[in-house]
């Protein structure tokens, strides 16, 4: 919903207000930042189940005889690795080696794809696709037609089974299916941004309130909680998932973002020559995980990262207190010469250099 061309609201806005959410602007949308609090919502997702309104995300459809060729040309992963009903995390590289956006490509069939893109980049991504569409296919931005609710946490299957989604426990990650509940069409995708078991449910805007209310009602015995964008950010940071505008940008390449695993070198794609050169010559900087040694606070975005001699060798791309680990963590773009595991470094916190070290990512992993 567009409000005078300035700020937008999702179909669930009134529910967030009724739940007394702290609202704030994100990517041009008025979104819930938190309800009870970031830490409580974060831990609820790690131990139970939470609901997220992600209706600000974009849905771009590509359909036609050469839809596969267009998506394959624009993304660095390999669509040949998935089939109908499967989805793939991938990126749009630029010819100069940067990143237009990261996204998830859903293959409905080889002539029909849905691309779920970041809210802040919907218009940019749509125009990027149109600009490079020399193929026999049609591109449509249908972001305003759909709402997306994410259900995340170890009790997800129990909640969605009670909701009426049959065989949900057998649906694996990065698959999707179209089904109906109470006669309403739902796309059920095994995707998420938390590192927990979860699904993202896409419905028509007119069905968003019904979906949210039913999940909240059925989920009460399971302790379901609404979760804002604040906890979504700390959950994704603990998993070291990239966020556009932080670990990814026009000025940070796929390889510098430490996402070489998303690149398949067989098929041709836009920007492949630059990434090949970076692969062969090596990058000079790379996104790396940092953990603060002491409980002195949390690194913040853009904070300088220093070597043991006090020289700046990079900066924090995303930093926060980790509710699961109870210490400060960060992703930082640093000189590759200082990216060895265990490397002692310093990061600026509240104007002072705090000791930290390079660590493995993800920062958090579920205990078996």
Within this chain, do residues 12 and 89 fall inside the same structural domain, yes or no? Answer: no
Residue 251 maps to a domain: no
Q: Quick check: 4 pLDDT over 50? A: no
Please indicate, yes or no, whether residues 273 and 343 belong to a single structural domain of this protein: yes
Q: Provide the phi-psi class of 174: left if phi over 0, else alpha when psi is between -120 and 50, else beta.
A: left
How many folded domains does the chain comprise? 3
pLDDT exceeds cutoff 60 at 327: yes
Res. 293 pLDDT band, cuts 50 70 90: confident
Residues 129 and 21 in one domain: no
* Same domain for 211 and 87: no
Q: Which domain holds residue 107?
A: 58-143
Work out the number of other CB atoms within 10 angstroms of the CB of residue 103: 25
Gap between the Cα atoms of 207 and 179, Å rounded: 14
The mean per-residue pLDDT over the stretch 20-47 comes to 98
Query: Does a structural domain hold residue 195?
Result: yes
**Residue 294 above 90 pLDDT?**
no
Give, to the nearest 10 degrees, the angle between helix 67-74 and helix 122-131: 110
Domain co-membership, 15 together with 131: no
Q: What is the mean pLDDT of the chain?
A: 96
CA distance 54 to 71: 24
Q: Are residues 187 and 277 in the same domain?
A: no
- Global pTM value: 0.96
Helix, strand, coil shares, percent, the chain, to 5: 25, 35, 40
Task: Summarize pLDDT for 151-178 with one digit per residue, the tens.
Answer: 999 999 999 999 999 999 999 999 999 9
The reply to whether 365 falls in a domain is no
Question: How far is Cα of residue 202 from the mean position of the Cα atoms in its chain?
Answer: 16
Residue 228 located in a structural domain: yes
Place of tokens 């930042």: 33
Are both 207 and 232 inside the same structural domain?
yes
On the 0-12 / 13-18 / 19+ scale of CB atoms within 10 A, 130 is exposed
| Domain's final residue, options 97, 126, 143 | 143
Residues 134 and 164 in one domain: no
Residue 249 falls inside a structural domain: no
**Helix H or strand E encompassing 286:** strand 285-292
Of the candidates 103, 126, 143, which is a domain's last residue?
A: 143
Buried b (16+ CB within 10 A) or exposed e, 67-97: bbbbbbbbbbbbbeebeeebbbbbbbbbeeb
> At 321, which CATH number?
2.40.30.110
Asked whether residue 364 is domain-assigned, the answer is no
Give residue-wise pLDDT tens across range 209-263: 999 999 999 999 999 999 999 999 999 999 999 999 999 999 999 999 999 999 9
Query: Does 255 map to a domain?
Result: no
Whether 65 and 113 map to the same domain: the answer is: yes
CA end-to-end distance (rounded Å), the chain = 43
Domain identity same for 166 and 35: yes
**Exposure letters 279-309 (e unless 16+ CB within 10 A, then b):** eeeebebbbbbbbbeeebbbbbeebbbbbee
Mean pLDDT across 41-62: 98
Asked whether residue 32 falls in the same domain as residue 171, the answer is yes
Q: Which of 143, 170, 191 is the last residue of a domain?
A: 143
For residue range 7-33, list pLDDT tens digits in order: 999 999 999 999 999 999 999 999 999
Q: What is the CATH number of the domain that holds 148?
A: 3.30.1360.120
Tell me what pLDDT residue 296 has: 82
Helix (H) / strand (E) containing 334: strand 327-335
Identify whether 321 is part of a domain.
yes
The pLDDT, as a whole number, for residue 5 is 58
How would residue 368 be classed by pLDDT, with cut points 50, 70 and 90? low
Q: How far apart are CA 354 and CA 303, in angstroms?
A: 11
Is 355 found in the same domain as 276?
Answer: yes
């Amino acid at each position: 919903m567009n409000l005078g061309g300035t700020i937008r609201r999702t179909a669930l806005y009134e529910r967030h207000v009724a739940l007394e959410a702290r609202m704030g602007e994100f990517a041009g949308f008025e979104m819930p930042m938190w309800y009870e609090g970031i830490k409580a919502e974060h831990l609820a997702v790690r131990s139970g189940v939470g609901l997220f309104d992600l209706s600000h995300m974009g849905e771009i459809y590509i359909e036609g005889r050469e839809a596969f060729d267009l998506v394959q040309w624009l993304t660095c992963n390999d669509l040949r690795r998935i089939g109908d009903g499967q989805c793939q995390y991938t990126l749009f590289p630029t010819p100069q080696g940067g990143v237009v956006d990261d996204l998830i490509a859903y293959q409905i069939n080889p002539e029909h794809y849905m691309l779920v893109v970041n809210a802040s980049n919907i218009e940019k991504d749509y125009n990027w696709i149109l600009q490079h569409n020399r193929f026999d296919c049609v591109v449509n931005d249908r972001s305003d037609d759909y709402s997306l609710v994410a259900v995340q946490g170890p009790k997800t299957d129990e909640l969605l089974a009670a909701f009426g989604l049959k065989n949900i426990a057998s649906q694996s990650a990065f698959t999707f299916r179209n089904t109906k509940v109470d006669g309403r069409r739902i796309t059920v995708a095994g995707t998420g941004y938390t590192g927990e078991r979860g699904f993202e449910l896409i419905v028509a805007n007119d069905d968003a309130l019904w979906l949210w209310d039913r999940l909240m009602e059925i989920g009460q015995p399971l302790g379901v909680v609404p979760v804002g964008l604040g906890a979504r950010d700390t959950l994704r940071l603990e998993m070291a998932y990239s966020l556009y505008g932080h670990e990814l940008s026009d000025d940070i390449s796929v390889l510098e973002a430490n996402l070489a695993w998303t690149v398949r070198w067989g098929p041709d794609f836009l920007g492949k020559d630059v990434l090949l050169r970076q692969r062969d010559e090596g990058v000079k900087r790379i996104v790396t995980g940092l953990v603060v040694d002491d409980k002195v606070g949390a690194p913040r975005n853009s904070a300088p990262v220093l070597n043991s001699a006090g020289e700046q060798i990079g900066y924090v791309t995303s930093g926060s207190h980790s509710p699961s680990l109870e210490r400060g963590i960060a992703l930082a773009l640093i000189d590759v010469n200082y990216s060895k595991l265990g490397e002692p470094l310093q990061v600026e916190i509240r104007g002072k250099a705090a000791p930290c070290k390079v660590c493995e990512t993800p920062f958090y992993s579920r205990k078996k």
